[in-house]
Structure 1
Amino acid sequence: MNSREDLKTTPVDPRFPTQNQTQHCWTRYNEWALCLKKNDDDEDVCKSARSYAKSLCPGSWIEKWDGERDEGNFSGVQK
């Protein structure tokens, strides 16, 4: 996985104009999960999507959602 030094801020997304970025975080995480699903879990192909999610979301949320995906009980995009 990327180190914190490799993270880049996600591009401006007009779907999320407010200061509260919770929905933006959720959407970016699910875009990453969807990328993995469409690309046979190829982490390299989906590296930028993961970076965008990590730049927006608290680390504890990413860890929680990663664990839920591994356990098969994530409420977003399924494996």
Structure 2
Amino acid sequence: MSEQESPKYVLQTVGFDARFPNQNQTRHCFQSYVDYFKCITAKGEEYAPCAQFQRTYRTLCPNAWVEKWDEQRESGTFPASLEP
């Protein structure tokens, strides 16, 4: 495969958020997860701005955390309100 035929990937990291200025991004991860589900509850999954929250939590959060939170949401034991 030549260089012209190879797929191009754009690697990006999460942008700066003034609410989370510290190096530890744990809270940013959790808040983005909560914000995503609040957004899709309020606006629907097709609402494009919600995707930014999803990209952020998928970038920052370990997969094991997301799986655990998904299970908690399904069982109704998630520790935060997801209502807008």
TM-score range normalised by the length of the shorter chain: 0.7 to 0.9
In the TM superposition, what is the alpha-carbon distance from 1:76 to its structure 2 partner?
1.5
Relative to 1, partners in 2 of residues 1:6 and 1:50: Cα closer, same or farther, differing over 3 Å?
farther
Corresponding residue number in structure 2 for 1:64: 68
Deviations 1:15-57 (A, max 9, x none): 11111111111111111111121124x2x42332211111011
Q: 1:35 to 1:7 in 2, by over 3 A?
A: farther
**What's the Cα RMSD here?**
2.2
* Partner-residue secondary structure (3-state), 2:20: coil
TM-score (normalised: structure 2): 0.72
Structure 2: any 5+ residue segments left out of the alignment?
1-8
Q: What 5-or-longer segments of structure 1 have no aligned partner?
A: none
What is the rounded CA distance, in whole Å, between the counterparts of 1:7 and 1:38 in structure 2?
30
- Percent identity over the alignment? 36
Q: Which residue of 2 aligns with 1:75?
A: 79
SS of match in other structure, 1:26 = helix
Q: Which has the larger radius of gyration?
A: 2
Cα distance in 1 between the residues matched to 2:53 and 2:31: 10
Tell me the CA shift for residue 8 of structure 1. 4.7
More helix by share: 1
